[in-house]
A and B are shown apart, each in its own frame.
Chain A
Amino acid sequence: MNQTLLSLRNVSKSFDGKSVLDALDLDIRDGEFITLLGPSGCGKTTLLRLMAGFEHPDDGSLTLAGTDITHTLPEHRPLNTVFQHYALFPHMTVFDNVAYGLKMEKRPKDEIRQRVDEALAMVQLGDFARRKPHQLSGGQQQRVAIARAVVKRPKLLLLDEPLSALDYKLRRTMQVELKRLQRELGITFVFVTHDQEEALSMSDRVVVLKDGLIQQLGTPREIYERPANLFTARFVGETNLFPGKLERLGDGTITVDVLGVHRTLRRPSFPVCEGQAVHVLLRPEDIRVLAPDADHGLAGKVVERNYKGSTLDSVIHLADGTEVLASEFFDEDDPMFDYRLGEPVKVSWVDGWEWLLPVEPDELPAGAELAVNA
């Protein structure tokens, strides 16, 4: 599990003078499900295409299981790809599509038949072998594409936004199925997506990319709960940012003034000094909404409420204009729990659930924050 399967060193790539990847280092471990996450244009697809061999780095190297594959042609790399729109050969049957890779390996006919049948059975398409791709539904085409790629027993499977063309429900089903396949086959999956929910729910590790640079590499929990910077914090999930001013350094703790309320928090890992401005990050589900007469918390009023089924999501305007998103689970004791618009409340959070980030030098002024996420 911890052994490195594919390692990228100092990989750079630019198109027409525009840098897409910049001196990127990445180690992919054997057997893991790793996701490349980022907004469109962040370089994630280029990164995947470099691994597959459809692009070649301007600089740097790729090593797969100890072998340098930087200049290896795609057909000679022991890894396979599931393409975004499946790229099934329209003139071949499902069987021939899946058999294609094995025919290229010049396997005996019997072996091909057996392995293709197995692969199709694995994706529950055994009865569809004689069909042509256009006679299948989107979900079935997706399964054929997966079967075609895994039938060659690659060391590494690259998946380029494979679920983007499916509707919501099918997407969820395929997410579960992909996880099951990955466990059963024990193949390393490199998955590209721009959907942060998908990334968090499926991956062992997530690589957050922006402008060709790795913003953060970690487990879904690390990414979500301890974002390395504001970009990751905003891109992955909803985030409340409170402006804070560091008042006093203590022993393993700091005291921060958050909009006039003083709280003693755990000392963050980045270097701090008194008087420094920091961001206090809180996820909507970490916010506690209190009655207006509570003895602590920041005063504000409810300006929006959205019933979401399992949660009640509300937007609260604080006195200074800061917008706070809160997501609260329904309480069994109070099934009618709700807010009136304009209702005065106080917001707070449980000590230790906050996450601190330094104020970055080139940061946008407050107020522009929500626009970035939208």
Chain B
Amino acid sequence: MLKVRQQPFKTAVLALVWGWLLVLVLAPNLLVVGTSVLTRDAGSFIALPVNLDSYRRLLDPLYLDVFLHSLYMASVTTLCCLLIGYPFAWALSRLTKPRQTLLIFLLIVPFWTNSLVRTYALKLLLATNGLINNALIGLGLIDEPLQMLYTEGAVIVGLVYLLLPFMILPLYSVFEDLRRELLMASHDLGAGKLPTFIHVVVPLTLPGVIAGVMLVLLPAMGLFFVADILGGSRNLLVGNVIKNQFLDARDWPFGAAASILLTVAMAVLLLAHKLSERRLGNGESKP
């Protein structure tokens, strides 16, 4: 009877969370899917008939260029984060425990600071008459200020700056779990530094890499305000397209279709993550 008596609490909690998720996650997403196959309407945003025009328009060269460019910038961002973050996480995991705690704290502090404000701070540095240009001219390295703001590079710098901690934290956690004895065992069995890295370190840190990629790549396509502030009109993200369709152009079906594009990208990444964890035999133990 234990179970029966606990039922009210259990039922209430489960009803609450299921209700919340069904109403505020599942239903809205179904709405988006529905919207994406409807027709644009000036008055009520969407109208019948059902069609796949919006998906067809995703392939329109005009938008396809934007999407590919966004994907390109997101990929470069992810690669930069990985190249900076991987050695960073490794170096961090080799410090003494109190130092690790302090440095992780320092890594999180910027994350706790408003991301808009931090993006704006980059603008101070990158602007035509900003600090970097002033410094370079002051040092006599250049005569004319460089055009840094409103470039593809500026957007990538902004995205890397905001998303780097999301790459480092999962990497740090796998490096922390990587037991020193495994490396010693590898050396003991005759493997040099490079073979040890390739055969032991990389496979064991792969789930962290994939988690990091997932946490960086997707937001790097969606954080429209970074492109807005640093990128000008030519360096748009998928997020900018979606936002414009919903808030300015009022073409909801097309915006919805673009957002489903992102959802599909997420599904692919989630699958990769799941597979990499299963390879290490702990796919079942984690939610």
Contacts and interface: CB of A to CB of B under 8 A. Distances in A.
Nearest to A73: B2
Interface in A14-73: 53, 56, 71, 73
Contacts of B1: 56, 71, 73
B193 interface: no
Interface in B2-21: 2-3, 5
Interface residues of A, number: 5
Contacts of B3: 56
Nearest to B5: A73
Contacts of A53: 2
Nearest to B6: A73
A350 B2 CA distance: 57
Nearest to A71: B1
A344 to B, nearest CB: 47
Nearest to A54: B2
Interface in A117-172: none
A73 B2 CA distance: 6
A30 B42 CA distance: 84
A77 to B, nearest CB: 12
A53 B2 CA distance: 9
B130 to A, nearest CB: 52
A74 B5 CA distance: 12
Interface string A68-105: 00010110000000000000000000000000000000
Interface string B102-115: 00000000000000
Contacts of A74: 2
Contacts of B2: 53, 56, 73-74
Interface string B1-45: 111010000000000000000000000000000000000000000
Nearest to A53: B2
B7 to A, nearest CB: 13
A211 to B, nearest CB: 26
A27 B275 CA distance: 52
Contacts of A56: 1-3
Nearest to B4: A71
A82 B1 CA distance: 24
A310 to B, nearest CB: 40
Interface string A226-242: 00000000000000000
Chain B CB count within 10 A is highest, among A53, A71, A74, for: A71
A56 to B, nearest CB: 6
Contacts of B5: 73
A56 B3 CA distance: 9
Contacts of A71: 1
A55 B22 CA distance: 33
A56 B1 CA distance: 8
A308 B2 CA distance: 52
A44 B258 CA distance: 59
A100 to B, nearest CB: 20
A71 B5 CA distance: 11
Interface in B112-137: none
A82 B2 CA distance: 21
A109 B2 CA distance: 31
Interface string A299-333: 00000000000000000000000000000000000
A252 to B, nearest CB: 55
A61 to B, nearest CB: 13
A73 B3 CA distance: 10
A53 B3 CA distance: 12
Chain A CB count within 10 A is highest, among B2, B3, B5, for: B2
A56 B2 CA distance: 8
A16 B1 CA distance: 18
B223 to A, nearest CB: 41
Interface string B245-270: 00000000000000000000000000
A292 to B, nearest CB: 51
A56 B4 CA distance: 12
A53 B6 CA distance: 14
B178 to A, nearest CB: 28
B151 to A, nearest CB: 55
Interface string A211-252: 000000000000000000000000000000000000000000
A28 B45 CA distance: 75
A113 B3 CA distance: 35
A323 to B, nearest CB: 38
A73 B6 CA distance: 11
Nearest to B3: A56
A53 B1 CA distance: 10
A14 to B, nearest CB: 15
Contacts of A73: 1-2, 5
Interface in A169-205: none
A81 to B, nearest CB: 15
A71 B3 CA distance: 10
A73 B1 CA distance: 8
A67 to B, nearest CB: 15
A73 B5 CA distance: 9
Nearest to A74: B2
Nearest to B1: A71
B29 to A, nearest CB: 34
A74 B1 CA distance: 11
Nearest to A72: B1
A74 B3 CA distance: 12
B184 to A, nearest CB: 28
A52 to B, nearest CB: 11
A227 B2 CA distance: 39
Given A53-B2, A74-B2, 7 more contacts: A56-B1, A56-B2, A56-B3, A71-B1, A73-B1, A73-B2, A73-B5
9 contacts: A53-B2, A56-B1, A56-B2, A56-B3, A71-B1, A73-B1, A73-B2, A73-B5, A74-B2
Interface of B: 1-3, 5
Interface of A: 53, 56, 71, 73-74
Rank and list the top 4 A-B pairs by shortest CB-CB distance, nearest first. Answer: A71-B1, A73-B2, A56-B2, A73-B5
